[in-house]
Structure 1
């Protein structure tokens, strides 16, 4: 299946683009995609998933605009044409 992946702030810098498209197995989950992204882009390695494969605290990962932590987390299933957005922690005041 093909997914559209969107990145923000320093994640966009690490990937080199705001949006990319990638092909994944039909049974891929959010966790599978995030692990593949960390493996593909050196600048993302260890920044998205923790040592047990969970999404790091303060990160926001959205599937079609919905926070995956409110769905099934990294076990959230994906479908052809879904959009995943990855937001790093943001500081400001």
Structure 2
């Protein structure tokens, strides 16, 4: 299955591009499986703290926040888009 990963703000800088396509053989692939691999490949992707997804990160599967789905256990399907946003501050 193919998943598109989209990165925003400083995560885009850490990856060096806006999107990447990834192939996975796992039909039961979950969002957490994908997210846990990213910091190993891209050191600037500081997504987890004490094994938990960092607070204030926004992860969308096809435009829906995974916190409204099954969180890190959200199952991904072929053609899904996973968007990863760092915390945003401003005023």
TM-score by length of 2: 0.93
DSSP 3-state at the match of 1:43: coil
Moved more, 19-28 or 81-90: 19-28
| Number of residue pairs aligned between Structure 1 and Structure 2 | 90
**Distance in structure 2 (CA, Å) of the matches to 1:50 and 1:77:** 22
Runs of at least 5 residues in structure 1 that lack an aligned partner in the other structure = none
1:91 is matched with: 89
Runs of 4+ in structure 1 deviating by more than 4 angstroms, as ranges, are: none
Runs of at least 5 residues in structure 2 that lack an aligned partner in the other structure = none
TM-score by length of 1: 0.91
Q: CA RMSD in A?
A: 0.9
DSSP 3-state at the match of 1:85: strand
Q: Higher strand share goes to which structure?
A: 2
